[in-house]
Amino acid sequence: MTLPLRVQAATAQVLTEQALVLDLPLWLPWPLPPGWLVTGVGWVDGPQTQHATVLACSGPNPVGGDADLLLVAEEPGTGLGGGYAGLDSPHPGAEVGDGPPHARIGADGHQVSMWWVSSAAPDRAVYAGEADGRWLWLILHPESAGTLMMERLSLADVRALGHEVELLAYGPLSPRLRPS
């Protein structure tokens, strides 16, 4: 299935404009970890509404080298998160929601349980959970960047940030924004 994905390099102006029209959260690590850049934004349009959003960030991998993080919010069945995870399915798998979570993150002041998606492609670490009634996916490249999940990761919805988007560091468009 080919999704009608639109992507753009991230700038304060682009994030501010998208915050005004998006129907879904546009998740961002908040505060942005030291040395990290916002490197792109994307969304999947539907006839009347967006069905998915994605925000890309790049920065130092805690175990060395560089890392990329994609944060996806999507309506169930859209498939954008599954595509970025390297899955053949739009669903993260039966293990998500089964048993204790592998990590917990903050999302707009709420604790969100996240499960490691073991069926994801081996070159990335993938976690999925539910926030605001939608799937929340965190796709980290390379797999060793999954150690970021051991830190106290908090997310904010860009739609609620306002002028804070002007204080973010921005980088060139991430090539990771094209699902594999």
Look at residues 29, 8, 28, 47 and name the one whose alpha carbon lies nearest to residue 151.
29
pLDDT tens per residue across span 37-68? 999 999 998 765 558 999 999 999 999 999 99
59, 33 Cβ separation under 8 angstroms: yes
Burial of residue 62 (CB within 10 Å: 0-12, 13-18, 19+) is middle
| Residue 34 clears pLDDT 90, i.e. is over it | yes
Tell me if the pTM is above 0.75: yes
Look at residues 170, 101, 96 and name the one whose alpha carbon lies nearest to residue 135.
96
| Residue 158 clears pLDDT 60, i.e. is over it | yes
Q: How many domains does the chain have?
A: 1
For 24, the domain range is 5-177
